Structure 1
């Protein structure tokens, strides 16, 4: 594989682009810095025009309004975002945008290579969605024989970017290759193929046009190895709505007084903001403070409380766990980062997924035997990690429960968000979003807690099948990322300014000054 860089795409449903403000679209594009904007969903000329107008420096790809009416268009990385790929150019990775699933049959029959020289090909189908039968609880992949034939015909891996599938959907379909040659139906149910039939694995990643609820932006990172990650952030986390406490009504009232961006809010005195209906003094102070935090990318401590006091002169150990679901039957991975020694320790159950005691015992005996004097730090551990560990200890190692309860445990998310001790620059309060907003670069993309749980459940169902075994190194990197990102956020908060919200924002408490963009 070449040393090509990943391609970053921003997906916004075409129908949502039609109704979102230009400021919101611009803010999302600035935040994600994509190589191109994808517009999945039904044909929508107004949404396409809005993106083209507001984001003229970023290529917009809406296949139904494609290049010169082409049913399939190929794109590759250029100096400034994606660019159309012509002729036999080697592009890696390649994005192939097609108007509909019906075009897949034409692609499988093409005599010329679909993606010459590409390490990986990403197939963007704007209205593609998995068919689910709620009665039989069975999922079916449309055009599966065409997808399998295309995947088998190209040099590198193929992944499908499914415009009509909800954001957050990520599933690797194992498709029988011989289906493409036998004239079988154009769909394959989600089931394990016959053991002797040749297959190809095709990841399908949802882009959100078919999701329920409000509009969301989806950050899609397409690696040259065929691994894609897709993380959604609600559209109301951009523009003015990103400010704590600003809903639709407050956004309209701010616009009425000339505040259409966060910088505008920072330019208005707190006293003036406080006169707007529904805001008041306290909310105005918090709006100023949060506007500064987002614009500068620096957290703001609001109290003198410490998130996790040192113990015995040592910083806390950063802990993260992975389970098989929200009501777990096993904690199959424990990750611990020690900031004092800059070392990482992983405990995984790789051989017997029915043995919930083994990995738990290795972790707790290591902790109590060598680090009992150290505190633990988690992100949302009070609601999940700590009670789950204690529940499994009661079941498998009741003699360690008392010693476990003696360990000092802290929760950085609870301290900062729930208890209101800090304002953070992430557009969500997910650890990854906050850490990346503070400059953390993850080792692993494409995984989440839900995806690691799903991967382990598959292993639990077929522990003797090598094809069902998770990529242990990748899942270990993901857990390590969470531990080290946690410490990165902790250090940023500890070194942040302690300041009252009353003196935050460039407009101060009583008058307009230079904009926040000059901070």
Structure 2
């Protein structure tokens, strides 16, 4: 099976699109640079028109079909990009994307797949978009039901390749493998939400849909695009900017700081920050707002980048420690694969190796003061107290705190999550299809069923996810240390306020 292909699918739920200006829709598409766009949620011709006008890629909104039997079918490969299936010769290595107008069409789709009147690649994954599909929740029994489970399972059984359902009206963060039974076997059916969740949220998300059937989502609040993405710009300031013929961040960038400061309610302090952030977003490069350095290092050695994986936000185990050393370009992982209810073994393996090999190095994390460092100290205190003094002697830093919490830098990501910032700075991650929440959930399942081979995580995949975080952190650190500086601490502009307004906090 090919492992090097990934289709970038942008989901613009129709309720989110209707809240955006046309320039904000354009900004969203330019930011994500998708291969294909889908509009899940209710049928909305106006939203479809907005997206079609802004996009130069195919846009899927099958809800607009008149016959009630519409099936969209696209194929993707790195070489050809996205093509409509009728115009493309079937290739076993191409990713297929199917979308149906409504659930009544599923039996017809199954029949076409069974009889080969509709062909999909036999190796790369097939994705099925159900624009108005959601999991049913029973408030009485507090249980969930997968609608059309038998039908979806039958479709999956028609296909030799991996099969993933993209559920239009599930939240963008939803990513769950349903256990399903069929006459042939017991299997799993991956369901991934596309964000039109009917909860009043306005979220857009891009999905990296891999040849293996795994999906990684980057969800962003729709308000982070257009003028309101800028530091300190809310609805009223955006309106004043529009009155000055500024409709995009590039328009703001083209203004002088003096012109911005003259607008009612802005002034020199906000003007400098707004202008600086417009420059950051348009250039894709960070802007450092101080002469201070992010960290201190020892012995002219770069910091080592640390990331941990746990079984939740209130963990009972740190089951993976990942350390990337940029000096040697090596990554070391410590993973508890055998006894998930014993946190001591993996902890001791990590701390003895680290103190012996890197005890004199600076350690760098992203939000480490908020999670990694306190959890490591908590578990050391409980299980390996003899190493506490040595760990306390290690120089530890948190790049997220320095850049975002302390307001020392403006970053080009539309949120402050590490993967979003790193991607905006050009880092290309491996397409593992994992998130922090999903790794925790998978390990929780392993903890409940440690002797069940089907519950054992794909260790290499989880190792790669942690490695990605470590290397992404190094990429962001390099970008910040190489960034241009605009020292605002002594410029009479009042310094920075410790937050990036218009950006989602960690």
TM-score normalised by L of structure 2:
0.92
**Pairing of 1:161-240 with structure 2 (within 5 A):** 161-178=166-183, 198-210=185-197, 212-240=199-227
1:307 to 294, 300, 304: 294
Q: Is the 8 A contact 1:115 1:154 kept in 2?
A: no
Q: Structure 1's 488 and 297: CA in aligned 2 closer, same or farther, altered over 3 A?
A: same
Task: Report the Cα offset of residue 50 of structure 1.
Answer: 1.6
Aligned residue in 2 for 1:323: 310
Q: Structure 1's 444 and 222: CA in aligned 2 closer, same or farther, altered over 3 A?
A: closer
Q: Is the 8 A contact 1:36 1:81 kept in 2?
A: no
| Residues 321-371 of structure 1, C-alpha deviations (whole Å, 9 max, x = no match) | 000111111100000011111111000000111011111111111112222
Task: Report the Cα offset of residue 294 of structure 1.
Answer: 1.0
Q: Does 1:476 align with 2:475?
A: no
Task: Report the Cα offset of residue 200 of structure 1.
Answer: 2.4
Q: Is the 8 A contact 1:331 1:356 kept in 2?
A: yes
Q: Is the 8 A contact 2:311 2:318 kept in 1?
A: yes
Aligned residue in 2 for 1:15: 15
Q: Structure 1's 371 and 450: CA in aligned 2 closer, same or farther, altered over 3 A?
A: same
Q: Structure 1's 211 and 68: CA in aligned 2 closer, same or farther, altered over 3 A?
A: closer
2:165 to 153, 160, 168: 160
| Residues 100-157 of structure 1, C-alpha deviations (whole Å, 9 max, x = no match) | 2232233233452343334211000001111123443322111000011110111211
**Pairing of 1:57-72 with structure 2 (within 5 A):** 57-66=56-65, 70-72=69-71
Aligned residue in 2 for 1:257: 244
1:112 to 95, 112, 115: 115
Q: Structure 1's 89 and 366: CA in aligned 2 closer, same or farther, altered over 3 A?
A: same
Instruction: Give the secondary structure class of the aligned counterpart of 1:24.
Output: helix
> What is the alpha-carbon distance in structure 1 between the residues aligned to residue 265 and residue 441 of structure 2?
44
**Pairing of 1:69-84 with structure 2 (within 5 A):** 70-77=69-76, 81-84=81-84
Task: Report the Cα offset of residue 198 of structure 1.
Answer: 1.3
1:338 to 325, 329, 332: 325
Instruction: Give the secondary structure class of the aligned counterpart of 2:281.
Output: helix
Q: Structure 1's 88 and 250: CA in aligned 2 closer, same or farther, altered over 3 A?
A: closer
Aligned residue in 1 for 2:502: none
Segments ≥4 residues shifted beyond 3 Å: 66-70, 78-81, 134-137, 211-214
**Pairing of 1:419-434 with structure 2 (within 5 A):** 419-434=406-421
**Stretch moving more, 197-206 or 341-350:** 197-206
Aligned residue in 1 for 2:145: 140
**Stretch moving more, 262-271 or 287-296:** 262-271
> What is the alpha-carbon distance in structure 1 between the residues aligned to residue 223 and residue 152 of structure 2?
35
- What number of residue pairs does the alignment pair up? 485
Aligned residue in 2 for 1:44: 44
Q: Is the 8 A contact 2:16 2:204 kept in 1?
A: no
> What is the alpha-carbon distance in structure 1 between the residues aligned to residue 65 and residue 76 of structure 2?
18
Task: Report the Cα offset of residue 317 of structure 1.
Answer: 1.1
Q: Structure 1's 167 and 260: CA in aligned 2 closer, same or farther, altered over 3 A?
A: same
**Stretch moving more, 348-357 or 126-135:** 126-135
> What is the alpha-carbon distance in structure 2 between the residues aligned to residue 141 and residue 209 of structure 1?
17
The gaps in structure 2 that reach 5 residues or longer are 492-506
> What is the alpha-carbon distance in structure 1 between the residues aligned to residue 340 and residue 198 of structure 2?
33
**Stretch moving more, 135-144 or 5-14:** 135-144
